[in-house]
Structure 1
Amino acid sequence: MILRSLAFLLFLLTASAGLHAAEPLVRVEILTQPPIAAGQQVQVQVDVLAPNFFLSPPKFPLFDLPNAIVTLPDTGAQNLVETIEGQSYAGIRRTYIVTPQTGGDFTLPPAKITFIYAAVPGQPGSEGSVTLPPQKFRVAGAPPGTPATAQRITVTQKLDRDPENLKGGDTLVRTVTVEALGMQAMMIPVPEFTAPEGVRLYPHDPVLSDKMDQGQGSIGGTRVDRVTYEFEKAGSYRLPAIEISWYDPATQKNEVAEAPEVTVSVAATAGFTPAIKPPEITEEAPKRPDYLRLLPWAAGLAALAFLAWLVPALWRGLRQWRQACRQRYEQSEAYSFRQFSSACRSGEGAPVYAALQSWADRAKTAPLREWLSRGGDSAALAQYERLEARLFAATAATGSYDASELLAGIAQARNKWLARRTERLRPAALPPLNP
């Protein structure tokens, strides 16, 4: 009897140890192979693995690293499913981009990544966290005068019209595009635009964009600069070439990418010919002084000069106002919800989930699970949970979500939320003046 009791107790201890053995894991890998030069992108791949499946996506923080710029590109997370020592794990993979500014040894700080996962399926979620291990990499110091580091930089340009067929007062728009492989857009050197004497230069705001190059396995950046040249008088002009200096770590050489100079020919504007000949002055008519006869012409030229200055200024102001309105709209909650609606039409889980999380962050309704529960939107909550199970479950989900029903449920919950917010912002009625 005693032996049986001991065996049963040993079995319980072993089973209990088995239940608690599966813990979240983290893997870190430096994808960029040495030698690494200062200013070169270093890709740090981080895998977060949790038993069974996630109930919330891991929160990857931006950490500080002395003498380096750390970014987390919004290129989407990669889902993983693995079996480790007989236990099913769901994983999320993200890639940090670390750009060291100097040479030396760099060690990743102990950044903490938090999430909620299903430690025991069918029970409430458990809070989990992992800490980045002290992964190290070495960076070679850059020689003096070394420009920005990239795998490749190209510079191209476009003109909105023929530069050999302009007249005095005309404008020419020059668009210069810098594409850099292995460099984020914000790190691309700013092109320098200059104009010769007699030419006015009007720069526009640059457009920056990043993308992941799957073939090269690195982040590439694009910078588009647009400037307008205004030619005040006739003549021949040379717009200087645009040069971008960069350092190629593969060849360890300084390189220069450029857009060639532009030769511009501006013809004189034809003189003004009145449509009606002024009446001739008779001998009896008093002769006006010469300067009085020139006053109408001077006034007309002044009016034309004022219009030539006013119209471009008004046009630039209108264009900047429209661009500001567009930027405000793209940062609004309504635009974010429109992106979510568009993603639902495709029905693909990952884009729908990403767009929904982006809207929740913009509307400050995250976490969505709690927000939907407080609002009593059970149908939308059920579709949201099916979507999470489909994306983050370690094994295939038993049910499937309906993108159109999810959109309808979230839209209904959003309408109620907007109505409550409008009611809160509505000013209270004034009390009577004579109670």
Structure 2
Amino acid sequence: MKLLALVLALFSTSLLAADPQLRVQATLVPGDTAVVGETVQLQLDLYTDTWFSSAPKLPDLTLPGAVVTPPGDQAQHLTQRLDGTNFYGMRYLFQITPQQTGDLQIPALTVSATPGTAQAPLSATSQPLTLHAQLPAGVPAGQRVLVARQLSLTQQTSPDPAALKVGDSLTRTVTLKAEGAMSLMLPVTPLGDVDGLSRYLKTPQVKTLDNGRGYTLGGQRIDAASYRIEKPGKYQLPALQVQWWSTQDKTLHSATLPAISFTASANPAYQPPFSVTEDLQRLGQQTRLHLSRHWLTAGLILAVLVLLGLLLRRFGAQWRTSWQHWQATRKARREASADYAWQQVPGQLRQRPPQLTALYQWWRRSRGSLRLAGADPDVLRQCYSANAQADASPEALLPRLTTLHHETVRQARGAPRPHSLRPLNPGHDKELP
């Protein structure tokens, strides 16, 4: 008994000390040949002779010229005997849909996992594969066609089209189910416009069909449109057709839906809606607020007035001070000009005795000199000669002064600008600063 116990202990110790195994197998289902648009499954089987203590880490797969859908979170559990040993594994499915003809090279995929008795994660690599893609038989080059094992195309209408009136809405719902095809590859159902009906498309519903255990069966797409009747008459929603290529009999098929005919009677109580608010609610959108142009204009004016009031309250005193300073500066500049001095000359000459202050100021400001050497000789003779009469009429000077004013203005227009150089020989006149 002691010897048997010792043998059992040594055997169990050897089993516990053995390193666990990790194996990976890759297979293309249904095979390594497919047509453009057909979905092929890449089965990635991961095996170990113990158990998995955590979820394995799968590699990313990208193939130029094909659409690849990675596996989901769920996996199929497997049991297989390899080399006389029981292995336990999990199967993950990659969906590959070729988009062009040629050979797709699937590289070797490395998977890492931690078996139950392993001290560190282990890695295993699958063998590389090649997928041959060709055009479906009977389909012209460049034409896209749905490829599936089986296809189902159905439609429903709501409400009953037998008793419709103006203002009513008829909803047409088309359901497309394709076994063996990806949901993203399903075509859009062409629910077109019809004269006399307002069409409102609804958001399509696309989902993947599976068996509930991680195995993809195909895809489903539901397209729907609501048609509101705008006027009485006879209407027909056109027939629909979907072409698809079967992977079972390798031929091209066509699925059709019949047209929907109905008659809409008049509805005297119906009033066309003023806005599209009700239609937006039917489409699941939020209600929009409509404002009249008058209220919008009044609101903008009120907002501008409030803004001006706030600005005046904040910067009113500063603006008022700046305005007063600008007015005072402008007035002082005007009173210091030659034109202002000339406006005072006639009034001062009519005084008794006549005043020449404004005349001197005008001459100084217009000529920039304190001397009257360049003035009219007749004016100087009448004002300063020995024969000048003290009681002479001052109006006699105005014609000559007016002529002198015109000449001075004409000369000032041709004079150098303030920023130009001064004359080379300025003479002996005393210039103002």
Determine if the alignment matches structure 1 residue 316 to structure 2 residue 314.
Answer: no
SS of alignment partner, residue 312 of structure 1? helix
Deviations 1:70-115 (A, max 9, x none): 1135383111234444555331111211111122222212333222
Greater helix fraction, Structure 1 or Structure 2 = 1
Does the CA-based 8 Å contact 2:243-2:253 persist in structure 1?
yes
Structure of greater Rg: 2
Identity of aligned residues (%): 27
Does the CA-based 8 Å contact 1:22-1:87 persist in structure 2?
no
Question: TM-score by structure 1 length?
Answer: 0.56
Bigger relative contact order, structure 1 or 2 (CA pairs below 8 A, ≥6 apart)? 1
2:227 matched residue in structure 1: 229
- Taking the TM superposition and a 5 Å limit, the aligned residue runs for 1:67-216 are 67-74=65-72, 76-85=74-83, 87-120=85-118, 125-142=119-136, 143-144=139-140, 145=143, 147-212=145-210
Does the CA-based 8 Å contact 1:213-1:220 persist in structure 2?
no
2:272 matched residue in structure 1: 305
Q: d(CA) in 1 for partners of 2:221 and 2:242?
A: 12
SS of alignment partner, residue 313 of structure 1? helix
Does the CA-based 8 Å contact 2:24-2:111 persist in structure 1?
no
Shift of 1:259: 1.8
Give the alignment partner of residue 264 of structure 2, picking from 240, 263, 266: 266
Q: d(CA) in 1 for partners of 2:54 and 2:78?
A: 15
Q: d(CA) in 2 for partners of 1:171 and 1:319?
A: 20
Give the alignment partner of residue 28 of structure 1, picking from 26, 29, 33: 26
> Unaligned stretches of 5+ in structure 2?
1-12, 289-433
CA distance 1:34–1:47, change in 2 (3 Å): closer
Q: d(CA) in 2 for partners of 1:319 and 1:192?
A: 26
Deviations 1:270-327 (A, max 9, x none): x35xxxxxxxxxxxxxxxxxxxxxxxxxxxx9xx433574323234335899xxxxxx
CA distance 1:313–1:140, change in 2 (3 Å): closer
Q: d(CA) in 1 for partners of 2:162 and 2:16?
A: 80
SS of alignment partner, residue 114 of structure 2? strand
Give 1:310's aligned amino acid.
T
Give 2:235's aligned amino acid.
Y
Does the CA-based 8 Å contact 1:114-1:130 persist in structure 2?
yes
CA distance 1:220–1:128, change in 2 (3 Å): same
CA distance 1:73–1:18, change in 2 (3 Å): closer
Considering only aligned residues, what root-mean-square deviation do their CA atoms show, in Å? 3.1
Does the CA-based 8 Å contact 1:209-1:222 persist in structure 2?
yes
CA distance 1:246–1:68, change in 2 (3 Å): same
The runs of 4+ residues in structure 1 deviating greater than 6 Å are 15-18
Deviations 1:37-72 (A, max 9, x none): 121111111111123111111133441011111113
> Unaligned stretches of 5+ in structure 1?
1-14, 273-300, 322-435
SS of alignment partner, residue 55 of structure 1? coil
CA distance 1:116–1:21, change in 2 (3 Å): closer
Shift of 1:22: 4.4
Determine if the alignment matches structure 1 residue 219 to structure 2 residue 217.
Answer: yes
Give 1:98's aligned amino acid.
I
Decide which moves more: 157-166 or 142-151: 142-151
Question: TM-score by structure 2 length?
Answer: 0.56
Deviations 1:16-36 (A, max 9, x none): 999666431101112213652
Q: d(CA) in 2 for partners of 1:222 and 1:314?
A: 26
